[in-house]
């Protein structure tokens, strides 16, 4: 063997072995060592050394996983925290297309996490959580197939034939417990079950010729299975698959035909079929529609030539569009929205781009393994892929986060079952996984989520920041925006400053603010705003802690900002806080104090531009700083007594007031001008 080939072999072995790690040290403290893979840590006390090149990112298995980060080299790909704990012992630089996901804890040790400039935003998403076992059903034969109902509350499964029991099973699932409702005997294995995407029907296929229909449609009401339609094929059924809209059912047969049926009201009607020439044995459950309802991916489990084919259905006829050879194909599935296919080839899971007439592998996306890969399934949102493998010394159930920006997979689950997993399915609501396999079991799993707690870490952005989970900050941390955007991406996105903690927000534009999604958890929480623009998209409540304003801070939006904290917020010197037109600031503290906005000196400026200031009968006083009035400004007090109204200045602490040429003050309720001069 040449030196070059030996080197390539060692790299290949290194790539595979790094997928599952127990108490390991990655890289070296004295020389650069490339990781060559996405590392997946599954225990505590791991270490990423000084010169470890994490160019494919890394992930944690669960809340018991921990790792100390020392590398001086940039990280690329994704960091899947997954409820684990990361100790940052050196500044981290994240390269292009970086993704961070999941709860857990990041102990920053006053280091910096720097995200370089990239075309897409830096994402911090909530993820699924870590895997936990739920309900299980144990039988006397291997289960070959399993699937969830569209509401994720029923499970159907099929097993190998038995002389003493039934082969088709229907279960109820309440989020934790799997309860057998009914079962049916066929005297034949059930190879495949698949639920309709929007109704309580499922299709199933028997392994061989049986009395009655080999293809059957059942309805299920939680108690009883009722056959509503079927077809007597006289031969075995290898796979069934619904089109995404549920209007068509594709079926692959042991005679190498693929058939298409229409579906309506519980009944299937034959449309067309195609004989696949040169097929060995079509693989069990290896049949999938694309998002358009025009193309169908099918796999051959025994013949390498043309083992992976895509068929074209025009509504009336079925033809072959493309095929590839090289390895047998145990399973294949189209992505739910993109023209890409995940397929299993012996031990590998490979990703293919599909265009009409062509299937092309993306060689950078391969997932290698040490045992035969039997099954793949995309989550409904296309962000996750779950896989099942033959029994091995490694893990048989694995799941991955898929990043469609670079078409890479990042492992999030590695579950050792000790037996083969023949079929694996996400629930439509993305909260559960069901698996069918050897050892005679159906198993369901859920996910446990943890909050994300960041302690004493500086986050430096050179790109926009998209937040779609809640982040809790402890100690003293900062987000330095470098004039980029922080976007609260959905209703679950929040930033919470813990008790006694300080969060510095610097040079950043923040949008999507509403409710109380940027807040302190206690009255001693502090948020420092320095050169920030905050855009409020809904009414906002600031109930706890203090805000410190430094340099130029802008508040925009047409909603209400309700200041209800009982802690004093303050302006630094040389600071301007600007309220844009139609902005509404309501002073309504939780204690009887009218002096909770402190201005250091006359260089502390509140600029009111066509906005509204309201006060409850607590009253509201501004003094010692400067007030700029531009356009039509409204000052409104609920109270009438002197102590209950808006007051500007006092005898010893004048408030400098400047009214621009377009400035106008409309006063409602009591108002007190109390400057000494």
Per-residue pLDDT tens for 207-249?
999 999 999 999 999 999 999 999 999 999 999 999 999 999 9
Overall average pLDDT of the 505-518 stretch:
98
Alpha helices (H) in 419-491, listed in sequence order? none
Question: Which of 132-136, 391-395, 400-404 is predicted with the least confidence, judged by mean pLDDT?
Answer: 391-395
Which pLDDT tens digit goes with each residue over 14-48?
Answer: 333 344 445 788 888 888 765 557 789 988 899 99
Overall average pLDDT of the 499-527 stretch:
98
Please check the confidence at residue 400 and state whether its pLDDT lies above 60.
yes
Residue 639: predicted pLDDT: 84
Overall average pLDDT of the 70-92 stretch:
95
User: Over pLDDT 90: what percentage of the chain?
Assistant: 87
Reported confidence tier of residue 655, pLDDT bands at 50, 70, 90:
very high
Reported confidence tier of residue 674, pLDDT bands at 50, 70, 90:
confident
Strands (E), 544-660: 546-556, 560-563, 569-571, 575-579, 584-587, 597-599, 604-609, 612-615, 620-622, 626-630, 632-637, 646-648, 656-659
Apex CA 378: angle with CA 374 and CA 384, to 5°?
A: 110
Please check the confidence at residue 1 and state whether its pLDDT lies above 50.
no
φ, ψ of residue 644 to 5 degrees: the values are -115, 10
Q: What is the DSSP string of 610-642?
A: S-EEEE-TT-EEE-SSEEEEESEEEEEES--SG
| 326 CB burial (10 A radius; 0-12, 13-18, 19+) | middle
Residue 34: predicted pLDDT: 58
Which pLDDT tens digit goes with each residue over 159-199?
Answer: 998 777 899 999 999 999 999 999 999 989 999 999 999 99
At the top level of CATH, the class of 140-427 is mainly beta
Residue 15: predicted pLDDT: 36
Cα 568 from Cα 547, distance rounded (Å): 8
Please tell me the pTM assigned to this model.
0.91
Overall average pLDDT of the 400-429 stretch:
96
Which pLDDT tens digit goes with each residue over 362-378?
Answer: 999 999 999 999 999 99
Residue 652: predicted pLDDT: 87
Residue 36: predicted pLDDT: 56
Q: Mean pLDDT, the chain, as a whole number?
A: 93
Residue 13: predicted pLDDT: 32
Secondary structure of 138-173 in the HEC alphabet? Answer: ECCCCEEEEEECCCCCEEEEEECCCCCCCCEEEEEE
Residue 119: predicted pLDDT: 80
Cα 530 from Cα 527, distance rounded (Å): 10
Overall average pLDDT of the 124-150 stretch:
96
Please check the confidence at residue 471 and state whether its pLDDT lies above 70.
yes
Overall average pLDDT of the 423-431 stretch:
98
Residue 33: predicted pLDDT: 63
Name which of 467, 445, 471 is nearest 457 in CA terms. Answer: 471
Reported confidence tier of residue 9, pLDDT bands at 50, 70, 90:
very low
Residue 11: predicted pLDDT: 33
Which pLDDT tens digit goes with each residue over 244-290?
Answer: 999 999 999 999 999 999 999 999 999 999 999 999 999 999 999 99
């Amino acid at each position: 063997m040449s030196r070059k080939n030996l080197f390539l072999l060692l790299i290949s072995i290194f790539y595979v072995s790094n997928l599952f790690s127990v108490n390991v040290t990655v890289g070296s403290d004295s020389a650069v060592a490339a990781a060559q893979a996405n590392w997946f840590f599954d225990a505590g006390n791991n270490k990423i050394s000084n010169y470890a090149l994490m160019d494919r990112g890394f992930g944690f298995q669960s809340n018991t996983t921990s790792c100390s980060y020392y590398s001086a080299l940039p990280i690329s790909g994704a960091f899947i925290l997954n409820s684990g704990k990361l100790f940052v012992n050196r500044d981290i630089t994240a390269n292009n297309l970086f993704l961070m996901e999941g709860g857990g804890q990041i102990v920053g040790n006053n280091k910096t996490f720097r995200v370089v400039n990239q075309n897409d935003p830096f994402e911090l998403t909530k993820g699924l959580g870590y895997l936990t076992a739920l309900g299980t059903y144990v039988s006397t034969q291997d289960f070959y197939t399993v699937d969830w109902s569209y509401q994720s509350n029923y499970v159907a499964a099929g097993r190998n034939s038995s002389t003493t029991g039934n082969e088709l099973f229907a279960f109820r699932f309440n989020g934790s417990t799997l309860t057998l409702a009914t079962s049916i005997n066929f005297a034949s294995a059930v190879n495949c079950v698949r639920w309709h995407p929007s109704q309580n029907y499922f299709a199933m296929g028997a392994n061989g010729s049986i009395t009655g229909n080999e293809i059957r449609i059942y309805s299920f009401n939680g108690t009883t299975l009722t056959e509503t339609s079927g077809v007597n094929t006289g031969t075995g059924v290898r796979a069934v698959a619904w089109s995404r809209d549920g209007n068509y059912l594709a079926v692959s047969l042991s005679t190498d035909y693929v058939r298409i049926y229409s579906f309506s009201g519980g009944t299937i009607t034959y449309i067309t079929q195609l004989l696949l020439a040169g097929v060995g044995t079509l693989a069990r459950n290896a049949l999938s529609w694309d998002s358009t309802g025009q193309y169908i991916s099918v796999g051959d489990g025994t013949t390498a030539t043309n083992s992976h084919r895509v068929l074209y259905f025009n509504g009336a006829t079925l033809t072959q569009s493309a095929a590839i050879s090289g390895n047998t194909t145990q399973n294949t599935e189209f992505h739910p929205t993109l023209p890409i296919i995940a397929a299993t080839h012996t031990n590998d899971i490979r990703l293919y781009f599909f265009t009409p007439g062509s299937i092309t592998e993306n060689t950078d996306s391969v997932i290698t393994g040490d045992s035969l890969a039997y099954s793949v399934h995309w989550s409904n949102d296309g962000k996750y892929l779950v896989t099942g493998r033959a029994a091995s010394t490694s893990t048989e159930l694995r799941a991955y986060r898929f990043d469609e920006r670079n078409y890479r997979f990042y492992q999030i689950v590695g579950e050792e079952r000790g037996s083969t997993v023949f079929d694996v399915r996400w629930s439509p609501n993305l909260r559960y996984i069901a698996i069918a396999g050897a050892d005679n079991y159906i198993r369901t799993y859920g996910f446990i989520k943890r909050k994300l707690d960041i302690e004493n870490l500086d986050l430096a952005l050179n790109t926009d920041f998209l937040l779609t989970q809640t982040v809790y900050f402890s100690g003293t941390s900062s987000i330095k925006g470098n004039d980029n955007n922080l976007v609260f991406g959905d209703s679950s996105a929040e930033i919470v400053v813990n008790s006694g903690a300080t969060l510095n927000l610097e040079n950043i534009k923040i949008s999507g603010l509403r409710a109380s999604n940027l807040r302190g958890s206690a009255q001693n929480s502090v948020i420092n705003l320095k050169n920030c623009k905050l855009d409020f998209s809904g009414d906002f409540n600031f109930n706890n802690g203090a805000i410190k304003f430094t340099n130029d801070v802008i508040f925009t939006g047409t909603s209400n900002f309700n200041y209800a904290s009982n802690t004093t917020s303050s302006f630094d010197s040389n600071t301007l806080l600007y309220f844009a037109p139609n902005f509404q600031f309501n002073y309504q503290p939780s204690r009887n104090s009218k002096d909770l906005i402190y201005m250091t000196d006359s260089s502390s400026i509140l600029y009111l531009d066509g906005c509204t200031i309201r006060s409850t009968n607590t009253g509201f006083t501004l003094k010692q700083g400067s007030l700029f009035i531009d356009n039509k400004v409204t000052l409104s007090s609920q109270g009438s007594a002197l102590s209950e109204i808006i007051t500007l200045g006092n005898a010893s602490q004048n408030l400098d007031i400047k009214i621009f040429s377009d400035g106008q003050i409309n006063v409602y309720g009591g108002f007190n001008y109390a400057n000494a001069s």
